[in-house]
Chain A
Amino acid sequence: MAFTAFGSNNRSPSNKPRRTGKVVIALLAPGLAYLAMFFLTPLFALIMVSLETPDPAGGFAEYVPAFEFGNYANVVSEYLPHILRSFGYALAATVLALLISYPLAYFIGVKARPWPMLQKLMLTLVIAPFFISFLLRTLAWKQIFSNESWIVSSLQDLGILDQTQYVVGTPFMVIFGLTYNFIPFMTLPLYTSLERLDTRYLEAGSDLYATPAKVFRKVTLPLSMPGIISGTLLTFIPIAGDYVNASGDFLGSSSTAMIGNVIESNYLQINDYPSASALSVILMGVILVLVSVYVRKSGTEDLL
């Protein structure tokens, strides 16, 4: 998986002569044109919109270009709880997904090695939910945990929930949905990393007096770090910007709204384009900072 390359230094064979012919430019051109058209231009447009001010002469939802940096201060002061909640939920769901996926990926990638058919079957099962629409599956969970469902009534009967408490609309439900929806993005990179784990290192560890728990902590875990890094990035980044699970139409409520929901309502309902854009830029910036700190700290360059 290409994502295992996160943070690792690509050692290009420098002894080969560099080809800087027309062929190389021709081969790069489509990619560069695509990036310019569909990444750089929208990014620039987004930043410009985020600095616009309302048109004093215009009507509702009409804005004029400006450099109103105050937009940023306004959205941060207004939506700070949502921003913090987004990253809190993303962190919780990522950790949960890691805890669930690691044993699963370890089983498929290491324990099931003698049975390749079982490995393929289990990998297919991990990916299978993608064959059904993400929205449908999320709605299905809403049904399963609906106020009338036997699960909720049993929880109420058992006294775990009060008679007036429900599951849908709670932070628990949103984090549950986020974890569920993004688990494959954690499992697959972990699997690719564990599938290549050389079990002879584990044998060497136990030969050198390490208990199974110590072998896991000192050998297996560090050797699977590239998979952990790419898996957590692939779940954390999209979860932080997710606006489906936390939305009131699905698993959430107004009290669970994340930054994605705020951007959505600003953009589509109150047509406050500068605020929505500013929030998008903030989301992007915070993710970039967090990810680069994370990759630095985890020291992936030490791994192979």
Chain B
Amino acid sequence: MAKEFVARGADLELKQIRKEFPGFVAIDNLDLHVPAGQFFALLGPSGCGKTTSLRLVAGLETPTKGKIFIGGKDVTSTKPHERPVNTVFQSYALFPHMSVLENVAFGLRQRKIDNPLVRAKEALNLVQLPHLADRRPQQLSGGQQQRVALARALVNRPSLLLLDEPLGALDLKLRREMQIELKAIQMEVGLTFLHVTHDQEEAMDMADTVAVMNLGHIEQMGAPEALYDRPKTVFVSKFLGQSNLLVGEVTSSSANSISIEVAGNKISVPKARAEKHKGKIAIGFRPEKATFLTKKPASSASTNVIGPGVILDIRFTGTSNQYLIEVPELGNITVFAQNIGQSPVIQLGEQVWISWAIEHSFGLSDLPAKSEKA
């Protein structure tokens, strides 16, 4: 077994992975490539197969079909202890019968690395817990345990570090702190991080690349900004932030844009931002990209307008007001307005029109389910 530490992270490749459990298929035909040195987030709701994917990479599960490569080497049939991978478990899984320092030194001792305790102390310095080295894990708070788990994994300098929702159990403030710290550590050590989470803010905040996973397959993958700006499916548009969706037949098409007709309103989307150019399609826009007007605006080639609608609900969230507007035949539309001291004074029940720039629309490849309110 190699006794040297790797200088940098390795890339990870999953090819045609399928994982069946008795009675159901957790992952079907998953292809994934994580470039070396990246902070990669696998984002999805619980039960989407993201934790199973992580366990497959760690070697704790074997794929029913498909191959796994780490740094170009096929590791599909190797045992967990032979893989250059370490995991920060969701439950942390710190050994209760060992001190914090012994927990961190565990992996080093198994690999017979010189001076395990010295290196373990350095790792505890990195996560700022050197003063707790002699404690037992159960004497630490959740945030401290999380950092010990991180140190226990990082100290081995794995080619690939797997994080299984390690921040899930922490309160919001601590979670933000840990997110910043984790990102800083990743930049410092230059390892490949594969982070599994259901928290979309966490994924967008920390990751270089986010893969949105649903029902055992990847819906869309890309930089957080790109994913947010142009979701391609209904699921991504709803899971990553909020979206208003309008469904209609394509009625007209120009060189640059296509339009649908909904409840007497013409809604356009640039062709380059639409997945489908024909038939029945869903066009969406983000609530913060829209504004509302108390008078029907003059029609313009660069904006979409719907309305009139009635303000159903106003929610004050601190940084913004969230308005819920009921538009006849279209359902409820959400609009966010920043509280920058000049928001229009508007009351419940008032009639408004909603407008947004055409280039902020996005056309999706699928349609929302019937029961789903657009």
Report the minimum CB–CB distance from B153 to chain A (whole Å): 8
Known: A200-B91, A203-B80. A209 touches B107 (CB 8 A): yes
Report the minimum CB–CB distance from B372 to chain A (whole Å): 37
Report the minimum CB–CB distance from A229 to chain B (whole Å): 14
From 199 to 243 in chain A, residues with beta carbon under 8 angstroms from any chain B beta carbon are 200-201, 203-212, 214, 218-219, 222-223, 225
Q: In the assembly, what is the distance between CA of A223 and CA of B96, in Å?
A: 8
From 54 to 74 in chain B, residues with beta carbon under 8 angstroms from any chain A beta carbon are 58-60
**Main secondary structure on A side of the interface with B:** helix
Would A200 and B89 count as touching, CB distance under 8 A? yes
Q: Out of B60, B110, B138, which one reaches A208, CB within 8 Å? A: B110
Would A203 and B93 count as touching, CB distance under 8 A? yes
Report the minimum CB–CB distance from A196 to chain B (whole Å): 12
**Main secondary structure on B side of the interface with A:** loop
CB contacts (< 8 Å) of A211 on chain B: these are 81, 110
CB contacts (< 8 Å) of B59 on chain A: these are 206-207
Nearest chain-A residue to B55 (Cβ)? A203
Would A209 and B91 count as touching, CB distance under 8 A? no
Known: A200-B89, A203-B60. A208 touches B156 (CB 8 A): yes
CB contacts (< 8 Å) of B94 on chain A: these are 204
Nearest chain-B residue to A203 (Cβ)? B60
Q: In the assembly, what is the distance between CA of A225 and CA of B98, in Å?
A: 14
Q: Out of B93, B111, B156, which one reaches A204, CB within 8 Å? A: B93
CB contacts (< 8 Å) of A214 on chain B: these are 110
Q: In the assembly, what is the distance between CA of A217 and CA of B111, in Å?
A: 16
Would A201 and B95 count as touching, CB distance under 8 A? yes
What is the number of residues of chain A that contact chain B, defined by CB distance less than 8 Å? 22
Nearest chain-B residue to A114 (Cβ)? B22
Report the minimum CB–CB distance from B161 to chain A (whole Å): 11
Does chain A have a CB within 8 A of B85? yes
Does chain A have a CB within 8 A of B370? no
CB contacts (< 8 Å) of A158 on chain B: these are none
Q: In the assembly, what is the distance between CA of A59 and CA of B86, in Å?
A: 82
CB contacts (< 8 Å) of A205 on chain B: these are 95, 106
Q: In the assembly, what is the distance between CA of A103 and CA of B58, in Å?
A: 27
From 131 to 189 in chain B, residues with beta carbon under 8 angstroms from any chain A beta carbon are 138, 152, 156
Nearest chain-B residue to A299 (Cβ)? B97
Nearest chain-B residue to A221 (Cβ)? B97
CB contacts (< 8 Å) of B91 on chain A: these are 200
Report the minimum CB–CB distance from B22 to chain A (whole Å): 9
Would A207 and B95 count as touching, CB distance under 8 A? no
CB contacts (< 8 Å) of A223 on chain B: these are 96-97
Does chain B have a CB within 8 A of A302? yes
CB contacts (< 8 Å) of B85 on chain A: these are 207
Q: Out of A204, A302, A303, which one reaches B89, CB within 8 Å? A: A204
Report the minimum CB–CB distance from A204 to chain B (whole Å): 4
Q: Mark B101-115, 1 if CB is under 8 A from A, else 0.
A: 000001100110000
Would B111 and A209 count as touching, CB distance under 8 A? yes
Nearest chain-B residue to A222 (Cβ)? B97
Q: In the assembly, what is the distance between CA of A228 and CA of B94, in Å?
A: 22
From 1 to 31 in chain B, residues with beta carbon under 8 angstroms from any chain A beta carbon are 1
Choose among A208, A210, A219 the residue with the greatest number of B CB atoms under 10 Å from its CB.
A208
Does chain A have a CB within 8 A of B79? yes
Does chain B have a CB within 8 A of A293? no
Does chain B have a CB within 8 A of A73? no
Does chain B have a CB within 8 A of A289? no
Does chain B have a CB within 8 A of A24? no
CB contacts (< 8 Å) of A200 on chain B: these are 89, 91, 93
Would B107 and A208 count as touching, CB distance under 8 A? yes
Q: In the assembly, what is the distance between CA of A210 and CA of B95, in Å?
A: 13
Would A206 and B95 count as touching, CB distance under 8 A? no
Choose among A198, A205, A223, A225 the residue with the greatest number of B CB atoms under 10 Å from its CB.
A205
> Footprint of B on A, CB under 8 Å?
198, 200-201, 203-212, 214, 218-219, 222-223, 225, 302-304
* Extra 8 A-B pairs, beta carbons < 8 Å, given A206-B81, A304-B138: A200-B91, A204-B95, A206-B60, A207-B81, A209-B107, A209-B111, A304-B96, A304-B97
What are 14 A-B pairs with beta-carbon distances under 8 A? A200-B89, A201-B93, A201-B96, A203-B60, A203-B80, A203-B93, A204-B94, A205-B95, A205-B106, A206-B59, A207-B59, A207-B80, A210-B106, A211-B81
Closest 10 CB pairs of A and B: A208-B107, A204-B93, A209-B110, A206-B80, A200-B93, A222-B97, A210-B110, A209-B81, A206-B81, A207-B87
